[in-house]
Amino acid sequence: MPSGAGTARPPLPQLVERADIQGLRGLAVLLVVLDHAGVPGLAGGYVGVDVFFVLSGYLISSILLREATVTGRVSLVGFYAKRARRILPAATVVLVTTAVAATLIVSFVRAELIRKDVLWSAFFAANIHFGDQGTDYFSADLPPSPVQHFWSLAVEEQFYLVWPVLLILVLTLGAGGLQSVRRRVPVLTAIVAALCLASLAWSIHLTSDAPVSAYFSTFARGWELGVGALLALFGHALTRVHRRVGAALGWIGLGAIVAAAVGYDARTAFPGWTALLPVLGTALVLVAGASGAPAGAARVLGVRPLRGLGDVSYSLYLWHWPMLVLAAAYAGHRLSLVESLVVVAVALAAAVATYHAVENPVRHARLLRLRPRRTLLLWPAAAGVVLACSVWTTAQIQQEQEAAAAGYRDVDLSLVPASERVPRTTSVAHNSVAEALDRATLDSPLPFPLAQDLTAIADDRWDGDRRCAAQPDDSSSAICPVGDPSATRSIVLLGDSHANMWLPALDRIGQRAGFQVVPIIKFGCSPVDIAIHDRDMGGFYRQCDEWRDWALDQVRALDPTVVVVGSATQTVYSFLAEDHETVLDEAAAMDAWQDGVGRLVGELATVTDEVRFLGDTVVLPDSPAECLSKHDATMASCTVPLSQSTQDINDRTELGLRGTAARFIRTTRLVCADLRCPMAVDGTVVFQDRQHITETYALTVTDALQRRLDLPS
């Protein structure tokens, strides 16, 4: 038989309008929106995004494959022009509106963070940006971004940078005619199937190893769009599915989607293998309706209300999340269910308006449809509009800061009544705090410009090698000495992040006084001998006990001159009884803490007589960056009382040291005075987040800390 001869292959089938697909879109967006609104029983509604991924992969691949197998080519210009008309108009309107509203409603630090989020979203890289943010242990205090949901659009657009090119390379490049293109479809199918399996395997691995990264990763999500592409590649086979078989598959698929939405929640390891349920469920629904004779679930999905939601699903998805987030910020509290549903209703109205006034007019504009190359200009035009909005936001923030700075300079401290003036001492650190408190008494404006960038305040911390501190899942870490590396004497800093926040000062002290400083740190784990319950760990914190044993072995091996201990003491941990099952009440937990302090110091006393225990500082009620950047913020509004609970737990720590040679250092005296704690002292931001002081402030009080440590000469 001559080369190239054989049975002629037909083109892949034309994509037809299906009411069940439009209804499935409506169901998907409904699940996402109701989940975000906090409707009980739908904590897994986020799987609606996975439904969208499969639908998108199927619909767009069907169009591209039809074009390739009918014409023998794929127009990248035409494809990206259609994408521009479809996604850019509504996305740009929502991004600009969100940025402007945030500038007017929220603190300028949060507005600045949102400005950056909007820029990442405008360039379809939001998933990379939010994935990086979410992997940071110290980012827990950050509120959700109103454009965080743009991560899914970023995943899609990154996928569609690769998929059309792959399709062209495999099907059309060097093809000898239309039949050659069609004969290559099985090859493309095999490649896509292999890539889907690789992506799924990576998703399962990454979900176990780094769940936040996996959630936002295009490589971990690509298989979901790939499943839709595979369905499109099997287009002819799908049309031959028997009506009764299709009806059964449809009900199974719809049940799988609903089961995931009802059965999953925030604790479900996702995406990974658990994403198979909504993804394959969506695939079954698509197979069920492909014959063109909808039955069963396809009929249910095709009802008018769901189809109507499907029509506006894109705009509703874009609008609902920023409205929920900004409404909560404006109200100053978490929205109730009723309030959230009211916001959702407003978002639906905005979606309908956007669909009719923005989406459809641009998508169906005759001039743009006939001039695809001109349509491509929508990409830089949309980016330009967002960039212009970004410049305006920056200007607004600068004006507000300049006004506050002028007011701060004009404050006359002599106006503080003598009876309310904080007494001064010989300590420079104390006197700086005292002046800040006197300014708070006068309700002084804040001292702009501050020494640190509030938008990056979470990064103002010891920035050592990540391997040098045990992360929450670790039971050990690398040993990385600082201070004076050539010194024969050493200081071990033992503890959690509340010990680690003093490391910048100890590093400098070590250099001055001739000590090697060895941090032995595990984030989220107290060195005090007490069982810890951690919800994120699913109960008893086994890795913490293992690390504690390892850490004490390291201390013995190092034989240090001094051991400095630091630990979080309240609000972070729930303490367990010795049976590791019963969560203790407050009084019992305080007793257990005191006893645990005594046992730890007893262990350390076998190594050295020089033990220093750092008391804990204050836990703020709000993010310091948020407080310091509110539109009406003053020194008074950003000064908090030293809570009685902090004083009580520090007292218990000191009692636990009684009868030992260990010394207690009340670190609250470095950040507070007169039972009050300012968030900014002499232009320096004191706190990095609600629990940790900044590296900058730790360095400013180095002298005071060194005197209190009273290291052996």
Q: For the segment 296-321, what is each residue's pLDDT rounded down to a tens digit?
A: 888 899 999 999 999 999 999 999 99
> Is the domain 456-627+643-674+682-709 a CATH 3.30.110.70 member?
no
> With bands split at pLDDT 50, 70 and 90, how would you rate the model's confidence at 1?
very low
pLDDT tens for 537-551 read 555 677 888 999 999
pLDDT greater than 60 at residue 409: yes
Evaluated on CA atoms 460, 462, 468, 470, the torsion sign reads negative
Q: How many CA within 13 A on the CB side of residue 34?
A: 18
pLDDT greater than 60 at residue 600: yes
3-state class (DSSP) for residue 574: strand
pLDDT greater than 90 at residue 2: no
Residue 574: per-residue pLDDT: 58
Average pLDDT over residues 154-175: 92
Residue 685: per-residue pLDDT: 94
Residue 536: per-residue pLDDT: 53
pLDDT greater than 90 at residue 431: yes
The residue ranking higher by pLDDT, 198 or 457, is 198
pLDDT greater than 70 at residue 228: yes
Residue 473: per-residue pLDDT: 80
Residue 142: per-residue pLDDT: 59
pLDDT tens for 193-224 read 999 999 999 999 999 888 889 999 999 999 99
CB 126 within 8 A of CB 153: yes
Question: Tokens 């300049």 map to which residue?
Answer: 402
How far, in Å, are 86, 107, 431, 515, 642 from residue 671 at the CA level? 54, 24, 11, 25, 10
How far, in Å, are 151, 680, 707 from residue 636 at the CA level? 38, 11, 30
The residue ranking higher by pLDDT, 490 or 141, is 490
Give the span between the Cα atoms of 515 and 487, in whole angstroms: 5
Residue 137: per-residue pLDDT: 42
CB count, 10 Å around CB of 200?
Answer: 22
Residue 540: per-residue pLDDT: 67
Give the span between the Cα atoms of 662 and 439, in whole angstroms: 37
Question: Could you tell me which residues come within 8 angstroms of residue 21 by beta carbon, excluding any fewer than 6 positions away?
Answer: 55, 59, 286, 289, 301, 310
Residue 244: per-residue pLDDT: 85
Question: Could you tell me which residues come within 8 angstroms of residue 39 by beta carbon, excluding any fewer than 6 positions away?
Answer: 45, 337, 341
> With bands split at pLDDT 50, 70 and 90, how would you rate the model's confidence at 246?
confident
pLDDT greater than 60 at residue 535: no
pLDDT greater than 60 at residue 25: yes
Average pLDDT over residues 144-171: 94
Question: Tokens 């095999």 map to which residue?
Answer: 190
Residue 438: per-residue pLDDT: 93
For the chain, what is the mean pLDDT? 89
Residue 581: per-residue pLDDT: 61
Max Cα distance, the chain (Å): 107
| Percent over 70 (pLDDT), the chain | 94
> With bands split at pLDDT 50, 70 and 90, how would you rate the model's confidence at 14?
confident
Average pLDDT over residues 325-344: 92
Query: What residues does CATH 3.40.50.1110 cover in the chain?
Result: 456-627+643-674+682-709
How far, in Å, are 53, 268, 436, 677 from residue 673 at the CA level? 55, 45, 10, 7
The residue ranking higher by pLDDT, 338 or 140, is 338
pLDDT tens for 99-112 read 999 999 888 778 88
